[in-house]
Amino acid sequence: MPKILHTADWQMGRAFTRFETEDGAALVEARFEAIETLARLATENQCDAVLVAGDVFDAQTVADRTIRRVFNATQGFAGPWVMLPGNHDAALAESVWTRAQRLGAVPENVHLALQPGVIDLEPQRLSILCAPLTQRHTYSDLTEPFSVYQTPEGFLRVGLAHGSVQGLLPDEIDSANPIAPNRAEASRLDYLALGDWHGTKQIDERTWYSGTPEPERFRNNEAGNALIVDVSEPGATPTVTPVPTGRYQWHQLRETLAVHSDLEQLLERLGTLPESAVVDLRLDGSVTLAGEEALLKALSVAEARFRSLRCERGGLQLTPTEEDIAALKADGYVGEVVESLWERQDAAQDDVARDALAILAGLLREREQEAAQ
C-alpha cells in the first residue's frame, strides 16, 4: 500500500520582525524543527515519499546558511523527497534552487521538480506529476497538462501543484496561479497534493491542501499539520490523515469589555491558553481602575508564560467608579488631577490621559499599602 507524506508552504527564511528579537528567533527556529518533525513522521509511518507542494523558501534571496539548514533537516527520512517551486521560490533561470545546486546542498534523495513533467519513483511505484511555478504569478492552469502525461502501468498518479483552486477557497480567493476544481478527476489522479493555502483543507476526496507545518499567521485555518496519504492501489480512494506538526499555536483575540464579567471571562480564557501560545490581543470598551489593575497583573503573568503576547489597549478607556476614587484617597490637588485625567480621557479617548490616570492610581495605591505596613 503506497503511502506518502504531503506538506507545503514551509517558507524558510521568513523573518518575524514584528516580534521581540527573542520571540522572532524562536519562531524561526521552530520552522527548522518542523522539517525534522516531518522527516521523523515519514520514517515512523513508513512513508514511501515526502511531497512538498511549493514555497519551501520564503524568497529567492534567503541566506546560503538557510538553504543548507533546510536540506540538512531532511536527513531524518532516507526515502525520496520531491520539492516543488511555488510563487515565493519560483523556478526562475537563476533562483534559490539553482543556488542550492551550486552549493552542493541538495541530497541525492531529494528531487527538485524545476520543470513541468513526471518524476517516476520506480521502487515506490509512484509517478509524481509536477506543475512547478516558473514565475511568481501565472494566469493559466499549469496542471492542465496532467491530463496528457503518461505514467507506467500500475503506478499511482499523484499530482503536485501550488496555486488557488478556483471557486472553492474561502474569501473568494480566485487569484493568480489558478487550478481547476476538477483537476484530479479530469487528469485521472489518485491524489492531488496542493500548496499555497496555508491551512489544512479538503477540496474533494482526492484533492487536499496540507497547509504549513508550523503556523505563521493569526488566522483560524487549521494550520500546523501534515497529511499522511494512503492509497491501496491505483484508482482506490485515498485515506488522508492530518497529523499535528506545529510547535506554536497562534491566537488572535478581539475583546470588548463592558462589565466586570467580560474582564473575568477574558482572564479565564488567557489562563487556559498553552505556554506555546503566540497571542495578539486587542481590547476595546471600558474598565474600572480595579479592573485595570487586575488586567495589568494578568498580562504581566501571561507575557512571561506565553511564547509571545502583544496587547493593543488603545481602544480601552478607564472609567473609575466612585469606589475606585474613594479607594485612592486622593483629596485636594491630587484629587483634582484624578478628576481632570478621568474627564480628559473620557472626552477625547486620550491615551496619554488614560495611561497617566493608571500610573497615578498605581502610585496612590502603593502609597496606601506602604502606609498600612
Q: What is the pLDDT of residues 143-198, one digit of tens each?
A: 999 999 999 999 999 999 999 998 766 554 546 789 999 999 999 999 999 999 99
Give the end of a domain, one of 244, 274, 298: 244
Regarding whether 265 and 128 lie in a shared domain, the answer is no
Residues 261 and 332 both lie in one domain: yes
* Mean pLDDT for the stretch of residues 327-335: 58
d(CA 343, CA 141): 61
**Torsion angle in degrees (nearest 10) through CA of 206, 221, 15, 89:** 20
Does this model's pTM top 0.95? My answer is no
Paired with 196 in beta bridges are none
Q: Which residue has the higher pLDDT, 367 or 121?
A: 121
201 and 115 housed in the same domain = yes
DSSP state of 289: H
CB 78 within 8 A of CB 114: no
Q: Say whether both 196 and 270 belong to one domain.
A: no
Residue labelled with grid coordinates 524561526: 28
pLDDT at 79: 97
The total domain count for the chain is: 2
Share of the chain above pLDDT 90, in %: 73
DSSP single-letter state for residue 196 = S
**Domain end among 198, 219, 244:** 244
pLDDT digits (tens, 9 = 90+) for 232-268: 999 999 999 999 999 999 999 999 999 889 999 999 9
Residue 330 has pLDDT above 80, yes or no: no
| pLDDT value for 167 | 75
- The enclosing H or E element of 117 equals strand 117-121
pLDDT of 41 reads 98
Residues 275 and 239 in one domain: no
For residues 68 and 148, membership in a common domain is answered with: yes
pLDDT classification of 318: cutoffs 50, 70, 90: confident
264 and 197 in a common domain? no
The predicted structure's pLDDT at residue 319: 76
Q: Write down the pLDDT at residue 350.
A: 63
User: What pLDDT score does 312 carry?
Assistant: 93
Task: Specify the amino acid at residue 130.
Answer: C
Question: Grid cell 496587547 — which residue?
Answer: 311
Range of the domain at 336: 249-372
What is the structure's pLDDT at 210?
97
358 has a pLDDT exceeding 80: no
pLDDT (average), residues 104-130: 97
- How many Cβ atoms from other residues are within 10 Å of residue 60's Cβ? 17
- β-bridge mates for residue 317, sequence order: 286
Q: Please list, residue by residue across 311-350, b when 16 or more beta carbons sit within 10 angstroms of its beta carbon and e when fewer do.
A: bebeebbbbbeeebbebbebeeeeeeebeebbebbbeeeb
**CATH number (domain holding residue 87):** 3.60.21.10
Burial 22-39 (b: 16+ CB within 10 A, else e): ebbebbbebbbebbebbb
Its sign, for the CA torsion 319, 302, 28, 131, is: negative
Nearest of 323, 329, 314 to residue 366 by alpha carbon: 329
User: For residues 56, 12, 219 and 24, what is the CA-based torsion angle, rounded to 10 degrees?
Assistant: 180
Confidence of residue 368 (pLDDT cuts 50, 70, 90): low
Q: Which of 258, 270, 262 is nearest to 311 (CA)?
A: 270
- Stretch 59-81: mean pLDDT, rounded? 97
The answer on 194 and 313 residing in a single domain is no
Question: Are 26 and 98 in the same domain?
Answer: yes
Q: Which of 193, 215, 244 is the last residue of a domain?
A: 244
- In this prediction, residue 292 carries a pLDDT of 85
Rounded to whole angstroms, how far apart are CA atoms 31 and 265?
33
Q: Which residues contact 39 (CB under 8 A, 6 or more apart)?
A: 50, 73, 74, 75, 76, 77
Average model confidence (pLDDT) for the chain? 89
Whether residue 225 sits in one domain with residue 304 = no
pLDDT (average), residues 29-55: 97
Query: pLDDT category, 328, cuts 50, 70, 90?
Result: low
Same domain flag for 174 and 58: yes
Residues 6+ apart with CB under 8 A from 329: 364, 368
**Cβ-contact 53, 159 below 8 angstroms:** no
Residue 302: which residues within 8 A CB-CB, separation 6 or more? 270, 273, 279, 309
Do 229 and 321 belong to one domain?
no
